[in-house]
Amino acid sequence: MQDKITKILKAIADPTRREIFHALVVAATALPITQISSQFDMSRQGVTKHLKTLEDAGLVQINSKGRERFCFADTKPLKEVNQWLKFYEQFWDDAIDNLGTYLDQK
Amino acid sequence: MKDLITKEHVFKHSIDKIWDAISKAEEISTWFIPADFKAEVGYKYTFNSPDKENCTQITGTVKQANPYTLIYTWMVADTNVETTVTWKLEKIEGGTKLYLEHSGISNYPGDTAVTMFNSFNGGWDNCITELAGYLTKEVHAG
């Protein structure tokens, strides 16, 4: 079984999926799959596949209403990945700062 | 969003001076983390002695160590997840360019990442603060 962060990174590794996700985030409301597929000039099947990957990563919620399925973006999972990266970003920035100070005195 | 952190920094110092700072245990211990380290391929290093409270231990193996590239694996205590840290130095006009890369961060399982992150955060802050304090003292003393 893939872990959560791997799923998230995989989901956002694809540019089309990022665009779809972005469109859903910007829309800030649930969009029907038919609308997304027309917006992206893609088959419904193709879009559904991408949405499924996003859903697996927890980035999109899909709910059925009547015959249509509605998609809604959830950005919470990104925070987990971001938190990680941010920690190490800061960590290495500090390290480089310290290295500079050290070299100045050496 | 990526599974890779890269940093570039230009120092006005000579390439050999920086190489020593990142590859010699005594120097690493001064500016970075208390280290048992040798820049030899296959050497299993330890950052932070296990008996030191509040400082998370890092272990790994040196993969490459020839001037001016240093690569080692980076494993945080109790995670069994291996990431890789690469240091590269390049001589440029008027100084040296440092290229630092930390890859494989997505190898951390989600839950572990969060738990570890929380405990680790405090630990590292302490280590870094200590180091910063040490450096400040050195500056004032010197």
Instruction: Work out the pLDDT band at B64, boundaries 50, 70, 90.
Output: very high
Q: What is the pLDDT of residue B79?
A: 65
Domain membership flag for residue A63: yes
The arrangement of strands across the sheet holding A68-73 comes to A31-32, A68-73, A60-65
Write the pLDDT tens digit of every residue in A24-72. Answer: 988 889 999 999 999 888 899 999 999 999 999 999 999 999 989 999 9
Domain membership flag for residue A102: no
Domain membership flag for residue A64: yes
The domain that contains A27 carries what CATH number?
1.10.10.10
Question: What is the tally of structural domains in chain A?
Answer: 1
Better-scored residue on pLDDT, A81 or B139? A81
Domain membership flag for residue A38: yes
Write the pLDDT tens digit of every residue in B18-40. Answer: 999 999 999 998 888 889 999 99
Nearest to A5 among B7, B106, B121 (CB): B106
Q: Which domain holds residue A32?
A: 4-75
Q: What is the pLDDT of residue B140?
A: 47
pLDDT of B122 > 80? The answer is no
Instruction: Work out the pLDDT band at B129, boundaries 50, 70, 90.
Output: very low
Helix (H, G, I), strand (E, B) or coil at B31: helix
Q: What is the pLDDT of residue B6?
A: 87
The mean pLDDT value for B125-140 works out to 45
State which residue of chain A sits closest to B15, comparing Cα positions.
A103
Instruction: Work out the pLDDT band at A102, boundaries 50, 70, 90.
Output: very high
Bridge partners of B95, per DSSP, are B92
Domain membership flag for residue A100: no
SS3 content of chain B, % helix, strand, coil (to 5): 35, 35, 30
Domain membership flag for residue A32: yes
- DSSP class of residue A14 equals S
The mean pLDDT value for B52-59 works out to 69
Better-scored residue on pLDDT, A13 or B62? B62
Minimum distance, in Å, between the CA of residue A31 and any CA atom of chain B: 24
Domain membership flag for residue A99: no
Give the DSSP per-residue string, B59-94: EEEEEEEETTEEEEEEEETTT--EEEEEEEEEEETT
Q: What is the pLDDT of residue B53?
A: 58
Mean pLDDT of chain B: 77
Is B32 within 8 Å of A95 when comparing Cβ atoms?
yes
* Whole-prediction pTM: 0.63
Residue percentage of chain A with pLDDT more than 90? 43
Better-scored residue on pLDDT, A89 or A34? A34
Bridge partners of B44, per DSSP, are B61
Better-scored residue on pLDDT, B54 or A21? A21
B27: Cβ contacts below 8 Å, ≥ 6 apart = A102, B20, B21
Q: What is the pLDDT of residue A89?
A: 82
Domain membership flag for residue A88: no
Residue A17 structure tokens: 């999926």
Write the pLDDT tens digit of every residue in B87-121. Answer: 999 999 999 999 999 888 766 655 444 444 444 44
State which residue of chain A sits closest to B138, comparing Cα positions.
A105
Mean pLDDT of chain A: 87
Question: Which of A92, A93, A104 has the highest number of chain B CBs within 10 A, making it the mutation to test binding with B?
Answer: A92
Nearest to A5 among B113, B120, B124 (CB): B113
Q: What is the pLDDT of residue B76?
A: 77
